[in-house]
Chains A and B, each alone.
Chain A
Amino acid sequence: AQSVAQPEDQVNVAEGNPLTVKCTYSVSGNPYLFWYVQYPNRGLQFLLKYITGDNLVKGSYGFEAEFNKSQTSFHLKKPSALVSDSALYFCAVSHNQGGKLIFGQGTELSVKP
């Protein structure tokens, strides 16, 4: 069975510092991996995805993620955090049958000035 784990419920970062939000996955076959962001009282917004190819994927708002097959990880990163990056972040893996998404439990990112 496919699964996704986000080991940190909350990540606290000072503005201007680099940030990392961790994600590990368990899938059979080649994974399709996604990051979504949710701002308070809003729906989820797509940030980036890994399908195949380059292990470093760049996405919206300066975010990037590194796919590591040997460690089965897909960590989200940003070189310099902004206060406006504060939100709930979800990692997800997709099932090719029907495109169903399996989500991690979410990580609350808090960026302080």
Chain B
Amino acid sequence: NAGVTQTPKFQVLKTGQSMTLQCAQDMNHNSMYWYRQDPGMGLRLIYYSASEGTTDKGEVPNGYNVSRLNKREFSLRLESAAPSQTSVYFCASAPTPRGSYEQYFGPGTRLTVT
């Protein structure tokens, strides 16, 4: 099992460009999450998908959109990148949306917006 995979690993964008971060899991999990990690701020939830066919906003959704393409895949799109979106992005998955389950994290995408 690969677990949670993310592509790309690194990306540099110019302000105003768009891109999509890809995430896939092979653990048959129902719930998937996108977080961003900034120094001194821990991880903050951007969007999540409790189950296939549903998506909801997290703590910091502005400037992002998501698509739950199928049970395995959950993508994050930046329509018009801004320097404030420079961050490390992590995708995670969990068996169910119940809070008692731990989440499994991907290796991250390091994004720089110039």
Contact = CB atoms under 8 A, between A and B. Distances in A.
Contact of A99 (B90, B103, B105, B108): B103
A4 B102 CA distance: 17
Query: Which size class do A's interface residues fall under?
Result: 20 to 34
Interface in A4-31: 4, 9
Contacts of A34: 102
Interface in B72-114: 90, 92, 94, 96-108
B39 to A, nearest CB: 9
B99 A99 contact: yes
Interface of A: 4, 9, 32, 34, 36, 41-46, 49, 51, 90, 94-106
Interface of B: 4, 31, 33, 35, 40-45, 48, 50, 56, 58, 90, 92, 94, 96-108
